[in-house]
Amino acid sequence: MPDWIGACDLVTIPWTRTEFSARDTSPLKLFEYMASGVPIVASDLPAIREVLRHGENAWLVPPGDPQALADGIQHLLSCPELASRLADQARRDVTGFGWESRARRILSDVGPLLAATPRRSRPSPEKCDQRL
């Protein structure tokens, strides 16, 4: 896929607004696009904004608006310096979303909760070997 994505002038994530797309998704293709060094035009949804920032590492457009999507595509195609800057920033930003970084973020969020949860005592190994 990297060769195919890299051959594009730009890539899009043109989602409509649904509850799932707005809040509960994190598409792998988003990270592939960011790593490719190709400019991104994407729907401006909360789940997308967790990763992409309008005018910084992507160009965001209102979801479900074909004219806004077309305008965003045309804008980046007519402004190659902007498109290049967005793509370069996206490539730098994606390094913070690898599996290792994700695991560290999850553990930092969950760690305080685990520390505050009382530990249950574990049965002795002998007791675990007994049949009920």
Q: Can you give the residue ranges of every domain in the chain?
A: 2-117
Per-residue pLDDT tens digits for 60-102: 999 999 999 999 999 999 999 999 999 999 999 998 877 777 6
Closest Cα to residue 86, out of 15, 36, 28?
36
Strand partners, 59: 41
Per-residue pLDDT tens digits for 18-47: 665 445 556 788 999 999 999 999 999 988
Fold of 2-117: Rossmann fold (3.40.50)
8 Å CB contact between 45 and 92 = no
8 Å CB contact between 2 and 36 = yes
DSSP H or E run through 42: strand 40-43
Q: What is the CA radius of gyration of the chain?
A: 21
- Please report the pLDDT score of residue 12 as a whole number: 95
